[in-house]
Structure 1
Amino acid sequence: MTDTPRIRRVGLQGLLVQFGDAMSEPANRAAIAFRAAVDAQNWPQVRETSTSLVSTFLSVDLAATPPEQITDALTELLHTQDWYSAPLPAGRTLWEIPTLYGTDAAPQLEEAATAAGVDPDTAIAELSQARVRVLTIGFAPGQPYTGELPPHWDIPRQQALTKSVPSGALVVAIRQLIVFTNASPTGWRHVGQTAFRNFRPDSATPIALTPGDEMCFPSVSEAEYTRITAQDTSGDGGAQRVVLK
């Protein structure tokens, strides 16, 4: 990170503040914390902010606003603290999402466990007890990338695509977990199944999660999962929520 953070222009659409060249916990922490700090400035030139795994993006009309004006303000804000060890914003949510591991509903658990060097029971125990951060949201509307898992879960994607996994599928690769928002082909291994729907287009809050939220995926039985899918209409999939201070 010797040459980061760095500020880059994105055409005339805005500015990108990069905190790393590859995913790491400190760089992701910095991106999330810095975005919150930018939002708190209420700069009139900034139309919107967002984060990727290691960057903060500011949507700014650079045809109307001199880039140097925003760059200077960003540089000053960057110098106010060490963003790589900054506290994450208050008011985030911890989501505990009931998950059915293995069975025909999530048929690649054993394959993923083998790739991680553990047996299936250990895999379920580790994945169901892990507490991971929403690193970013992307690829499909509302699709969260979460992590990071312990190093032995740095398993590669598959060589071939799985034709389709269903909405709510919990998949794993490269120390991350993803909950799919819609049926989709994937190269990630399908290890669990949830009834959680992060993208809710008819809701006042179409995307329930935000980067910086935390998630865990406790294991439930097939009977409990069936009960949840039959009764839940909110999209929460039986999830419990805790506001983090």
Structure 2
Amino acid sequence: MTDYPIIRTVGLTGILVTFAGAMSEEANKASVAFRAAVDAQDWPEVSETAMSLVSVFIITDLVTHDADALVERLRALLETQDWLAAPLPEGRTLWHIPTVYGTDLAPQLEEAAEAAGVDPDEAIRQISGTRVRVLTIGFAPGQPYLGELPENWNIPRQKDLSLNVPAGALVVAIRQLVIFTNTTPTGWRHIGQTAFRTFDQTGPAPFALSPGDEITFPQVSRAEMEKLLATHPDGYGAADREAIG
């Protein structure tokens, strides 16, 4: 069995620290906490950090900087605590994003509910009542992968693609939710629609969400959603938020 965490160089672009071989709650929390700890070091040779579900990528120029020296500093930081038991960092945000479930706006709710072994009303209750965490950002700018949902939502992706799922769509598969940044084809099932936008390239903070943030998706009516779209046509402000952590 491989002992984690593992430290590896990635070409000449950086160093990857991996906490597990597959997604788990503990490994994802460890990645969020460790990334925050690396950022707090403010090492001059580190230009940026990023993370996947269970890894942290430390971006640096390994042509210019000594990889072995940085690996040793990362190893020393790893040894300061049990990262699988580390608390999530402070400065996170809890978002409440109003969502229309089902209807022609999100036509695959019934199909997803059947795959999860519940009726549509219970599916809405479970999704809207679960507080999920931003596990990572990926695929499109600012696009969050959120989880984890209860075990019955470990449903597979579709075999075929839905060709044009809109921006703001709430989609589900493999115990995770995603809010789409852009209109895109997908194999994930479209169960809800929001007025929220995850990416604003003109703003000082282009990504609305960060790994470690938490989200709820309270149910609203179509009329309430249309009011949100009218009052927040760019999608920003179409959610309530509060500081946590």
TM range (shorter): over 0.9
Structure 2 matches for 1:178-193, cutoff 5 A? 178-193=178-193
Paired position in structure 2 for 1:172: 172
Unaligned runs of 5+ in 2: none
**Matches of 1:235 and 1:121 in 2, distance apart?**
27
Identity over aligned residues, as a percent? Answer: 62
Which AA in structure 1 matches 2:239? A
**Distance in 1 between the 2:6 and 2:236 partners?**
38
> Residue 60 of structure 1 corresponds to which residue in structure 2?
60
Does the CA contact (< 8 Å) of 1:112 and 1:189 recur in 2? yes
Aligned position for 2:163: 163
| CA drift at 1:13 | 0.3
Greater Cα offset, 212-221 or 229-238: 229-238
Question: What amino acid maps onto 2:25 in structure 1?
Answer: E
CA contact (8 A) 2:229 2:235 kept: no
Residue 99 of structure 2 is matched in structure 1 by 99
TM-score (norm 1): 0.98
Alignment of 1:67-82 (within 5 A): 67-82=67-82
Rounded Cα–Cα distance in structure 1 between residues aligned with 2:205 and 2:60:
24
Within a 5 Å distance, the mapping from 1:1-245 to structure 2 comes to 3-233=3-233, 235-236=235-236, 238-245=238-245
2: distance between equivalents of 1:90 and 1:227? 33
Moved more, 100-109 or 62-71: 62-71
Question: In the TM superposition, what is the alpha-carbon distance from 1:205 to its structure 2 partner?
Answer: 1.1
Deviations 1:140-191 (A, max 9, x none): 1111000000000000000100111000000000000000000000000000
**Aligned partner letter, 2:168:** G
Q: d(CA) in 1 for partners of 2:55 and 2:94?
A: 22
C-alpha deviation, 1:35, in angstroms: 0.4
Opposite residue 190 of structure 2, the aligned amino acid is: H
SS in 1 for 2:68: helix
Counterpart of 2:12, as a letter, is L
Q: Quote how far apart the aligned CAs of 1:2 are.
A: 5.0
Is contact 1:127-1:217 (8 Å) kept?
yes
Conservation of the 8 A alpha-carbon contact between 1:200 and 1:235: no
Gaps of 5+ in 1: none
Measure how far apart 1:233 and its partner are. Answer: 3.9
- SS at 2:201 equivalent: coil
* TM-score (norm. length: structure 2): 0.98
- RMSD between superposed Cα atoms in Å: 1.0
- Inter-CA distance 140–102: structure 2 relative to 1 (3 Å threshold): same
Distance in 2, Cα, partners of 1:110 & 1:237: 29
Matched-pair contact (CA < 8 Å) for 1:97–1:237: no
Report the Cα distance in structure 1 between the residues aligned to 2:235 and 2:179, rounded to whole angstroms: 13
Which portions of structure 1, spanning 4 or more consecutive aligned residues, are displaced by more than 4 angstroms? none
How many positions carry a matched residue from both structures? 245
User: Which segment is superposed worse, 105-114 or 38-47?
Assistant: 38-47
For structure 1, which segment, 225-234 or 144-153, has the greater mean C-alpha deviation from structure 2 after superposition?
A: 225-234
Distance in 2 (CA, whole Å) between partners of 1:85 and 1:218 is 30
Note the C-alpha offset of 1:236: 3.2
C-alpha distance in structure 2 between counterparts of 1:164 and 1:94, whole Å: 29
